[in-house]
Chains A and B, each alone.
Chain A
Amino acid sequence: MVVQALAFYLFATVAVLSATAVVTVRNPVHSVLLLILTFFNAAGLFVLLGAEFLAMLLVVVYVGAVAVLFLFVVMMLDINFVEMRQGFLNYLPIGVLIAVVLFVELALVGAGWTLTDGAVAVLAQPTPEGVTNVEALGRLIYTDYAYIFQAAGLVLLVAMIGAIVLTLRHREGVRRQKISEQVKRNRADTLEIKKVPVGRGI
């Protein structure tokens, strides 16, 4: 299909270009916005693969939640751009090293698939015969690997509790609104009618 090929090249080109721009533009807010564009194009590529559930999840979780927090943090911080660039040369060797390692790994994966006979045939289909994407994924997570999934959930729960414990502070002297108490209040608790004698006060 010509249209699908065109769509693929569109998504792929924009994804690569915006990913490059994420690390090269000067303004950090522009960086985050371009990162969002990259996520979005990755979601488009997922749709082309037939994995529409993953695509929607990528948009909901990464674009809709994670990147929003990211954007908040970047907007709130007053970042000194000149200072940020200063350590660039010091960190360059480490950065290049990580990039090379990642590239070699990706190349190994790609080579493994193409050089081994029959490897492509065992590739898991995003849409198995007869069921939708969502159902196939649901079966894997909730039926085949339910216990492992639960364990992953517990790990996340522990991390969440840890984050709350680390940041929870009890400040003294903060007046909090207790709405239930306000609602429970009746006239006898709050109001007292007194007769004020003339010329004397209370």
Chain B
Amino acid sequence: MELLWDGYIEPLVWIVAKILAIVVPLLVAVAYLTYAERKVIGAIQLRKGPNVVGPFGLLQPLADGLKLFLKETIIPSSANKGVFIIAPMLTFILAIIAWAVIPFDEGMVLADLNVGILYIFAISSLGVYGIVMAGWASNSKYAFLGALRSGAQMVSYEISIGLIIISVLLTTGSLNLSDIVRGQTGGIWEWNFVYHFPMFIIFIVSILAETNRAPFDLPEAEAELVSGYNVDYSAMTFALFFLGEYANMILMSGLCAILFLGGWSAPLPFLEFIPGAIWFILKICFVLFIFLWVRATFPRYRYDQLMRLGWKIFLPLSFAWVMLVATFLVVFDKVPA
């Protein structure tokens, strides 16, 4: 009995508690990201944004969530039912499980995998299935076109993201996310974005495309596709797509913070008394603000321009950068052990 408690039940309870400690704040963050998005875009367009429900409109996300929860879930009669229901669940689950390897502070990580960065890359490469399955199962041409666009787009930009990650890994010498952050401690001049500045820019543009955000939100181009792959979804099934998309945005911002902005490390050595998790969250907020800022500033790309940017510009550039970094490290004998 004691073995059962010490060996299995106690660790299980601990893990579930840790998972909840990550997932619940994440979902709250997703809700308030939608609020922040509307406020930021409102400010940029000289509007007020949501300000009716609660003080400063702070309860607006809860009202929206409640509304989606109470609506009727409609399954189109011509849809492929099993796949139609699995698709949003898959999107949501994939957006959540990638957080298992994200280090919030020194040692504050659910699973400190040796191949952490590959795990995140693998999970984000699966994200395309949720969308493609949704588009196919809806049995509607708008949804299908949106899904095909999205699939091609995500597969294309994954390649340049992979190459950018490789060039960062070359200077770090580890696939472990905590080790990547540890290699950048000591101040803002140690962070990777200083050395990999062109790749930092390309990475930010690529994660915009990878998460299907403006100006690369072609899968849900309202004008042509009446919102794309999720046009046939309603109520909770739609909410799961929505939550998944925003959780993915936060995840990619976190990845950007870890790879380029020094994760939990403080920008200046005398600021180290502030807990690392706070720095990490601030950096995520910074990248998220760029997401919203870009959305309010740039018009949507045309599809062929999007593909041109991915394959003819980002891919060769990031390839060249990998070569350059590798050559530099070998010539100056700086290869990390």
**Partner-B contacts on A (CB < 8 A):** 2-3, 27, 29-30, 33, 36, 52-53, 56-57, 59-60, 63-65, 68, 71-72, 75, 132-134, 177, 179
Interface pair A133/B151, CB less than 8 Å apart: no
Interface pair A65/B133, CB less than 8 Å apart: no
Contact of B121 among A3, A33, A60, A133 (CB under 8 A): A60
Measured between C-beta atoms, what is the minimum distance from B11 to chain A in Å? 10
Measured between C-beta atoms, what is the minimum distance from A18 to chain B in Å? 14
**A57 vs B125: C-alpha distance when bound (angstroms):** 11
Q: Given A33-B133, A179-B308: A60 and B155 within 8 A (CB)?
A: no
B175 at the interface (CB under 8 A from A): yes
Interface pair B304/A60, CB less than 8 Å apart: no
In this complex, the member of B119, B126, B133, B304 whose beta carbon has the largest number of chain A beta carbons within 10 angstroms is B126
**A72 vs B147: C-alpha distance when bound (angstroms):** 10
B132 at the interface (CB under 8 A from A): yes
Contact of B136 among A2, A65, A75, A133 (CB under 8 A): A75
**A72 vs B129: C-alpha distance when bound (angstroms):** 11
> A127 — nearest CB in chain B belongs to which residue?
B114
> A58 — nearest CB in chain B belongs to which residue?
B122
B128 at the interface (CB under 8 A from A): yes
Interface pair B158/A53, CB less than 8 Å apart: no
**A53 vs B128: C-alpha distance when bound (angstroms):** 22
Q: Across the interface, which residues of B come within 8 angstroms of A64, CB to CB?
A: 122, 125-126, 128, 158
Measured between C-beta atoms, what is the minimum distance from B83 to chain A in Å? 7
Q: Given A56-B115, A75-B136: A63 and B126 within 8 A (CB)?
A: yes
Interface pair A33/B118, CB less than 8 Å apart: no
What would be 18 A-B contacts, judged by CB atoms less than 8 Å apart?
Answer: A27-B80, A30-B83, A36-B129, A52-B113, A52-B114, A56-B115, A56-B118, A59-B122, A59-B125, A59-B126, A63-B122, A68-B151, A68-B155, A72-B148, A75-B144, A134-B175, A177-B304, A179-B308
Q: Across the interface, which residues of A come within 8 angstroms of B125, CB to CB?
A: 59-60, 63-65
Interface pair B118/A53, CB less than 8 Å apart: yes
Interface pair B114/A56, CB less than 8 Å apart: no
**A152 vs B128: C-alpha distance when bound (angstroms):** 30
Q: Given A60-B125, A71-B132, A134-B175: A65 and B118 within 8 A (CB)?
A: no
**A63 vs B132: C-alpha distance when bound (angstroms):** 13
Q: Across the interface, which residues of B come within 8 angstroms of A179, CB to CB?
A: 305, 308
Q: A63-B125, A75-B136, A133-B114 are in contact. List 7 more A-B contacts (CB 8 A).
A: A3-B8, A30-B83, A33-B83, A52-B115, A57-B118, A60-B122, A179-B308
Interface majority SS (helix, strand, loop, mixed), chain B: helix
> B120 — nearest CB in chain A belongs to which residue?
A56
In this complex, the member of B118, B121, B122 whose beta carbon has the largest number of chain A beta carbons within 10 angstroms is B122
Contact of B119 among A2, A33, A56 (CB under 8 A): A56
Q: Across the interface, which residues of A come within 8 angstroms of B304, CB to CB?
A: 177
Q: Across the interface, which residues of B come within 8 angstroms of A133, CB to CB?
A: 114-115
Interface pair A60/B118, CB less than 8 Å apart: yes
Q: Across the interface, which residues of B come within 8 angstroms of A36, CB to CB?
A: 129
Q: Across the interface, which residues of A come within 8 angstroms of B175, CB to CB?
A: 134
Q: Across the interface, which residues of B come within 8 angstroms of A30, CB to CB?
A: 83
Q: Across the interface, which residues of B come within 8 angstroms of A71, CB to CB?
A: 129, 132
Q: Given A56-B119, A60-B121: A72 and B151 within 8 A (CB)?
A: yes
**A133 vs B175: C-alpha distance when bound (angstroms):** 11
In this complex, the member of A36, A57, A59 whose beta carbon has the largest number of chain B beta carbons within 10 angstroms is A59
Interface pair B126/A134, CB less than 8 Å apart: no
> A57 — nearest CB in chain B belongs to which residue?
B118
Measured between C-beta atoms, what is the minimum distance from A130 to chain B in Å? 13
Residues 111-159 of B contacting A (Cβ, < 8 Å) = 113-115, 118-119, 121-122, 125-126, 128-129, 132-133, 136, 144, 148, 151, 155, 158
Q: Across the interface, which residues of B come within 8 angstroms of A29, CB to CB?
A: 80, 83, 136
**A103 vs B122: C-alpha distance when bound (angstroms):** 32
**A63 vs B129: C-alpha distance when bound (angstroms):** 9
Measured between C-beta atoms, what is the minimum distance from B91 to chain A in Å? 14
